[in-house]
Amino acid sequence: MHIRTLGQGLKVSAIGLGAMGMSQSYGPNPGSRDEMITVLRSAVDEGVTFFDTAEVYGPHVNEELVGEALEPIRDRVVIATKFGWDIQDGRMVGLNSRPEQIRRVAEASLKRLRTEAIDLFYQHRVDPGVPIEDVAGTVGELIAEGKVKHFGLSEASADTIRRAHAAHPVTAVQSEYSLWTRDPEAEVLPTLAELGIGFVPFSPLGKGFLTGTVDASTAFTEGDIRNRVPRFEAENLAANQKLVDHVKGLAEAKGATPGQLALAWLLAQQPWIVPIPGTRRTERIRENAGATQVALSADERADLDSLAQRIGVRGGRYNAEHMTYVNR
C-alpha cells in the first residue's frame, strides 16, 4: 500500500477504511461484532493504516468497535473521529460545537477508542451557532494538551475552511466526492491545494453504485440510508446506469473492477487525496487496496473527468433536510 501525506505532515495509507457501515446506515450487519473486529484487523494486514469513525455512529458503538479492534496494533494506525452533533437519548437532535461540548466528546471518544490521543479530530458538520474560530481554538487547545494530534473539518465551505485554517492549521477536510459527486471541485479542492490541506473523500464508491452491484431493481433493507437518498430512487438509478456501465466497460478493458477504477480516478486527482471506502468484508478491503495499482492514462483520466457532465447524474446526493447541513 502506498503512503500519502495529508496536511501538517500526517502520513496515512493511500486508501483508508470508513467504519460507519459496520454499525449503521446500510441495514442490518450480517456479521457479528467479533467478525467486524477481525475485518478491521485484517485491513491492517492489507496495508490500511487510516481508519474513520465518529461518536454519532451507533451512536458510540462504532468508536467502541474500532477502539477494541485496533488497540493491539494502535502504534501502526491513524484513527480519525468526529464531534459536532448533539446526541440525546441515543438520537441526533441537532448540532453542538460549543467548546465545552467539544471537550466532553474528546474525553469520551478517547475512552471508547482506548487511546491516549485522537490522531485526527473532525468537526462533523459546521455549526452556524458557534464561530469556526472558537471551534478551531478549542481543538487547538486539545492539541496543545496532547489529547488530539490534528484538526479536521467535514462538509465545510471554502470560506469556512479558510477561517478555520487561519485560527488553527487544518490537516484534512472530509466531504463526499466520487465520479458521480463532483461538488468539491469548484471551490473546496482549489482552496485545499492553496492552503496545503489534505482531502478525504467519503462515499468514494457512490454508496455502492460505482461498484456495479446496485441497479434499479435493487431493494434496500430497512434502515439503509439509501432509502432516503434521491439518487437511489429507482427511476434515478435507471437513468444513472449509463454512467456505471461506462465505468464497467473501461474497468473490464483494464483488468480491474469498477470500484477499483473509481478509486484509481480519485487517487489520480491529487497526491493529497485519500478516499475512505467502507465495507464489512476483508475481500472488499483487498479489492479496494488494489486500486493503488491501477494506472490511468491521460486519455482515460480525461474521459472519466468529463463523465458526469457528459452523461449527467439524476437525483440529489442527500435529501433536502440533510443538504442544509453541508457546505456551510
Q: Residues with catalytic annotation? A: 57
| Of 38, 121, 47, residue with least CA distance to 72 | 38
Alpha helices in 80-230 (DSSP H): 99-112, 132-144, 158-167, 188-195
- Give the CA count within 13 Å in the CB-facing half-sphere of 107: 5
List of long-range contacts for 293-301, beta carbons under 8 Å, 24+ apart: 294/254, 294/256, 294/260, 294/261, 294/263, 294/264, 295/264, 296/264, 296/265, 296/268, 300/250, 301/265, 301/268
Per the structure block, which three cell numbers stand in for 115?
A: 487511546
- Classify residue 104 by burial, with Cβ atoms within 10 Å: 0-12, 13-18, 19+: middle
Give the 3-state secondary structure of residue 306. Answer: coil
